[in-house]
Amino acid sequence: MKLGLGLGVNSITSQKIGAGFTGILDEYSGAAAAYSVRRLSSSYTDGLIRVRRSSDDTEQDIGFDSNGDLDSTALLAFVGTGGTDNGFVTTWYDQSGNGNDATNATESEQPLIVDGGSVAQFDGINAVEFNGTSHELAASLSLSTTAFSSFSVAGTDGAAGTNAQAIFGSNATAFYSQIRSYDLETRISTSPILTLDDDIGNNPNQMQLFASINGTSAGNQYIDGTIGNQSPLDTSSSGGISETSVYIGSVNGQRYLGGGISEIIIFDSDQSSNRTGMETNINDHFDIYS
Amino acid sequence: MAWYIGTREEVEQYNQKVNEAKAYKGSITSNWANPKPHPTDEYFAIVACGGVEPDEESSLRFVEALGEDWFATEELP
């Protein structure tokens, strides 16, 4: 039971704390921020998301079930199962322990988690739905680093074409991870420009696992565990990131993502040695690729 | 997604009207929408809220969707 978040009911139902649960952040610690539709850490016992229901605009935290998955039963009990019942994410809680919750107080900008009485899914996977025109969530996330790693489970509704669609980002000229022209592009610097481009095909309408690693001497990107076939730019002279906020589903009001996001884990460190282990953990849970 | 188009003042007035009608009950949500400027800054758009009409004297124009001219093309690196 979580108490004290203002008006309305706030119960987090069905969570079974401890009992041998091991999350990805128990195995790979040190994340700067972590958002998911599953539980990521045994020490995390609060809600995964806070949801506003369309029927009366009240809000409630929704936690996880005994498997660590989003508690769909509690979610639909709160939002409803009718064709006009929609649930919107007002807060995507940070499970890293750093308190970098991603929120949006503006109704028309909140992404969906219940669509017409059913839990929102993208490519058969529970996901927060972004509409490509206005949906975004913002977190106060301070990053000042050249070493950077991110793991995202996301997909786009259609061909990204030349218009970029951001999974997350702060600044269109400094820091983002986006899909454009079927590439994964991650920019981690203002000057000199560092872009970890990639020529692996991003597949529209398909959930994929995107991993970006900027290490001490080189950077690489991976889609569904496969490394990009375009050599990344030299990262050794990167100016690095210096940001105080990050947006999910956009880059601060532009490059909106049309699609779904199930998980984003961000590190201000080089996770090269943990990459395959993290990818395996994520894929084992979401069953993204074979 | 339907929108209203007008001056900044008009779309802000519409947003205020929706906020008053909604009287949000949640602890996070407190605002209906933010005005979206046209790339030329001549007009602004705001998402239309079903069941809330602009004031009679308002000259806001209703459209079912925004045209492509509302979305500036970026020069990306």
Q: Token pair of A261, please?
A: 């996001």
The pLDDT of residue B53: 96
Local structure of residue A150 (DSSP, 8 states): E
DSSP string covering A183-229, please?
Answer: EEEEEE-SSS--EE---SPP-TTS-EEEEEEE-SS-EEEEETTEEPS
Q: Does the pLDDT at position B62 exceed 60?
A: yes
pLDDT for residue A8: 35
Q: Give B1 to chain A, closest Cα distance, Å.
A: 9
A197 close to A183: Cβ distance less than 8 angstroms: yes
Helix (H, G, I), strand (E, B) or coil at A107: helix
Low-confidence ranges of chain A (pLDDT < 50): 1-18
Mean local confidence (pLDDT), B60-65: 96
**Pairwise CA distance, residues A256 & A248, whole Å:** 9
For residue B68, pLDDT beyond 90? no
- Please, what are the domains in chain A? 24-286 (2.60.120.200)
Choosing among A51, A62, A108, which should be mutated to test the B contact, i.e. which has the most B CBs within 10 A? Answer: A108
Q: Rounded to whole angstroms, how far apart are CA atoms A202 and A221?
A: 12
Q: For position A229, what pLDDT does the model report?
A: 67
Tokens of A106: 């503006």
Q: Taking CB atoms and an 8 Å cutoff, what residues of chain A touch B26?
A: 6-8, 52, 57-59, 90
The closest alpha carbon to A222, from A204, A255, A199, A242, belongs to: A199
- Beta-carbon separation of A5 and B27 below 8 A: yes
pLDDT of B76 higher than 70: no
Secondary structure class of A165 (helix, strand, coil):
strand
**Model pLDDT, residue A217:** 66
Does residue A232 have a cis bond before it (omega within 30 degrees)? no
Instruction: Find the CB nearest A164 among B22, B30, B76.
Output: B76
Q: Quote the pLDDT of residue A1.
A: 33
CB A89 within 8 A of CB A128: yes
- Confidence at residue A145, expressed as pLDDT on a 0 to 100 scale: 77
**Predicted local confidence at residue A5, as pLDDT:** 34
Which pLDDT score is estimated for A19? 58
What pLDDT, on a 0 to 100 scale, did the predictor assign at position A239? 66
CB contact under 8 A, B27 and A8: yes
The whole-number average pLDDT for the span B37-48 is 92
Instruction: Give the pLDDT of residue A13.
Output: 41
DSSP character for A250? S
pLDDT, residue A182, reads 73
d(CA A131, CA A129): 7
